[in-house]
Chain A
Amino acid sequence: MASSLPTLPQALPSSSTKTSFSLATFRSPFLRFNGSTSFIPSSISLTSRGTSSMTIIPRAAAEESDSNEALANTTFHGLCYVLKDNIDTDQIIPAGAACTFPSNQQERDEIAAHALSGLPDFHKTRFVEPGENRSKYSIIIGGENFGCGSSREHAPVCLGAAGAKAIVAESYARIFFRNSVATGEVFPLESEVRVCEECKTGDTVTIELGDSGGLLTNHTTGKNYKLKSIGDAGPVIDAGGIFAYARMMGMIPSLA
């Protein structure tokens, strides 16, 4: 791996050399369910790589295709913001800032401005600079029990609204994990080791997701870390969230 900051295609190993884990069949909710209500909002961008270009396949065509065929691989690339253990929802979004209605774009921007604003002052680097509502960090790295505390969905929403794509933590609090999946705002990924001790805020990292797990590459240090499979949430994310999953299962009718 290159030790300097490579551009994205250079940083990624080619799929032909990949042996340790498969990137083959992560299926994008956009590709399968773009005909129904888009459950994962536009804040999650699924970046394809290599030769598989990001084309929107009509739903019918997607259903006809072999589900094992690689439709797209998911990667996230950017600067990381590093936190430690037990980052609770009050630190992610203080309760006083949670009066907003995140489905309205203006208030979504407001809530983004408050993302991680509850962190104590010893966090010298702000996730979102004062006066702005977007973060330059697209990947958050945490320790254990990320997102503990309240059930407020404003927590994953504010991170997604500020531009975060994925979180890599050792473990999550249950409701935060579920809300992240249900809203599709951020990918809650688990690392096998304590990555938060080995990465620094501002490091350039890439995440590649596959069916059986994923890989986090820190280009600043040149180190790789395995990520766990997203587990039971996989089929729900795969379908495009709880509503799309329920429609697929015939639990609720499709919208006209």
Chain B
Amino acid sequence: MAASSVISSSSFLCKSSSSKKDLGISSFPKSSQISIHRCQKKSISRKIVSVMAPQKDRSPGTTGSVKTGMTMTEKILARASEKSLVVPGDNIWVNVDVLMTHDVCGPGAFGIFKREFGDKAKVWDPEKIVVIPDHYIFTADKRANRNVDIMREHCREQNIKYFYDITDLGNFKANPDYKGVCHVALAQEGHCRPGEVLLGTDSHTCTAGAFGQFATGIGNTDAGFVLGTGKILLKVPPTMRFILDGEMPSYLQAKDLILQIIGEISVAGATYKTMEFSGTTIESLSMEERMTLCNMVVEAGGKNGVIPPDATTLNYVENRTSVPFEPVYSDGNASFVADYRFDVSKLEPVVAKPHSPDNRALARECKDVKIDRVYIGSCTGGKTEDFMAAAKLFHAAGKKVKVPTFLVPATQKVWMDVYALPVPGSGGKTCAQIFEEAGCDTPASPSCGACLGGPADTYARLNEPQVCVSTTNRNFPGRMGHKEGQIYLASPYTAAASALTGHVADPREFLQ
């Protein structure tokens, strides 16, 4: 099959999972074959076979024939579309469990909802919509401020249960409801639950796949449709499986793993596909590290990322929600379009060089790159454990940073952790104390901050053509502000090490 020709790197083993397993279901083989070929080679005509053609659903268990395996993603989508079976390529109407939107796309989505369903229309379920202002909050930009005001009005009118408002921009702590970066807040507030379908008007909504759910980003128009109907038309994606085994070296983080993978498959390597992560390394990762991994599947073009729920997942989720949920898992005979295997114990810290997340290099290969600043923050690298990691390295090194180092906790909860939790092995110091001793900037108000540039007065925005090592997710031209700025994407360890040397640095210099 084509999959084996796609992957040739020596660091991987790849076995092709052919479509043979689909042959057992007589009513579907045609679309299944086509979809699998389609995702492997683009030259095949993409002409549609059918959209919403009448499909005879029958439970494989009742036919006495071979049971067809499904991947986790296929199972979630089958259940959400009230079907017993779906295969990649099927176009299905899916019931949405949670729709998330924020200050940048929320006004547009609600505007389209009103245009299409009428001024007096009500959303499909005010308890299933989560509105999280986070993008352009601490700015004097009138349009940005207005967007939050518009969302407040919509939420009041529609009686939206979960609206994490902010009114006092001078002091975020005066806003008890305010959370910060939506993808981290969704998890912390218990909106991420195994087996569910979560959509968001933000490409990094895929972060929630860490909880074993289907989560993906959509545009305003699709979101406007979901607001009115609670449904969305989706094409079932084929699944690529990434099996990560081996003990994770102490100097590696999930960010290294996902940059490694994106470097391997490219920024379009998973376009339209699911990336499912499993293996002993994944099982050993914390929830926040799993979120980092799934967060960046969109940087490989992926539709969603997903990790099988386990005790770590259930422990996190059950402490944060009372909503019942039901995890699902890939069948042993499920079809995967490709298998990638890693021996994580052999990997080294990596960065993505400008100007693409797949421009991978070993951190130690870039030690001659002089940098101007370091940024730690965002949905990717601004979680509690990200700051704990940076603080741990600063403490171990006992040195001062050589370049301005900006810290933007993702949420109010993370900010509090930075100021309250003791860093292991530091004799009880908090991250904030260690950061101050190392000469970092004071941790700023929680928001997306400078990860995506934003209005000109955004804290830590790259306003000059500087070189920045950042724990964020994208490094395309202009991403953090200045078009000629150069962004090196890295783990919090690597970012902290780089701050200490003034060059891109390998964290092993300080962590052995």
Q: Which residues of A contact B (CB under 8 A)?
A: 37, 86, 88, 90-91, 94-96, 98-103, 118-121, 144-145, 148-153, 171-175, 178-179, 182-183, 190, 192, 212, 228-232, 234-236, 241-243, 245-246, 249, 251-252, 255
Contact = CB atoms under 8 A, between A and B. Distances in A.
Query: For A88, A151, A212, which residue has the most chain B Cβ atoms within 10 angstroms?
Result: A151
A145 B268 contact: yes
B402 interface: no
Interface residues of B, number: 66
A90 B221 CA distance: 19
A182 B303 contact: no
Contacts of A144: 268
Nearest to B455: A96
Interface in B206-231: 217-222, 225, 228-229, 231
13 contacts: A90-B474, A96-B458, A99-B136, A101-B150, A148-B268, A153-B220, A173-B301, A174-B271, A183-B221, A234-B47, A234-B48, A243-B116, A251-B229
A151 B268 contact: no
Nearest to B228: A252
Contacts of B205: 151
Given A120-B477, A148-B268, A152-B105, 7 more contacts: A86-B356, A96-B458, A152-B219, A153-B220, A175-B218, A182-B219, A245-B233
A98 B229 contact: no
Interface in B157-212: 200-203, 205
Interface in B102-127: 104-105, 107-108, 111-112, 115-118
B267 interface: yes
A90 B473 CA distance: 13
A144 B454 CA distance: 26
Contacts of A242: 221-222, 225, 233
B115 A99 contact: no
Give the secondary structure class of B's interface: loop
A121 B48 contact: no
B459 interface: no
B478 interface: yes
A149 B201 contact: no
A234 B205 CA distance: 26
B264 interface: no
Nearest to A228: B46
B452 interface: yes
Give the 9 A-B CB pairs with smallest separation, nearest first: A231-B46, A179-B219, A99-B143, A151-B217, A182-B221, A153-B219, A145-B268, A88-B476, A151-B203
Contact of A150 (B46, B48, B203): B203
Contacts of B135: 95
Contacts of A98: 104
A145 B271 contact: yes
B52 interface: yes
B105 A153 contact: yes
A243 B115 CA distance: 11
A249 B303 CA distance: 25
Given A99-B136, A229-B46, A37 B268 contact: no
A255 B118 contact: yes
Contacts of B268: 86, 144-145, 148, 171, 173
A119 to B, nearest CB: 7
Contacts of A90: 452-453, 474, 476-479
A243 B164 CA distance: 29
Contacts of A174: 271-272, 301, 303
B466 interface: no
B244 to A, nearest CB: 24
A121 B465 CA distance: 12
Interface in B354-386: 356
Contacts of A150: 202-203, 452
B222 A178 contact: yes
A98 B136 CA distance: 10
A94 B107 CA distance: 18
B183 to A, nearest CB: 12
B478 A235 contact: no
B147 interface: yes
Given A235-B51, A255-B118, A145 B267 contact: yes
A162 to B, nearest CB: 18
B144 interface: yes
A102 B107 CA distance: 10
Nearest to A256: B118
B104 A232 contact: no
B478 A91 contact: yes
B235 interface: yes
B319 interface: no
Contacts of B228: 252
A173 B454 contact: no
B219 A148 contact: no
A175 B455 contact: no
Contacts of B225: 242-243, 246
Contacts of A94: 453, 478
Nearest to A104: B111
Given A151-B105, A175-B218, A255-B118, A91 B476 contact: yes
B112 to A, nearest CB: 7
A148 B301 contact: yes
A101 B145 CA distance: 13
Given A103-B115, A251-B229, A151 B454 contact: no
A192 B474 CA distance: 29
A149 B108 contact: no
Contact of A232 (B91, B201, B454): B91
Contacts of A102: 108
Contacts of A252: 117, 228-229
Contacts of B217: 151, 175
A96 B481 CA distance: 8
Contacts of B93: 251
B235 A232 contact: yes
Nearest to A36: B116
B144 A99 contact: yes
B322 interface: no
Nearest to B220: A153
Contacts of B143: 99-101
B63 interface: no
B20 interface: no
Contacts of B456: 96
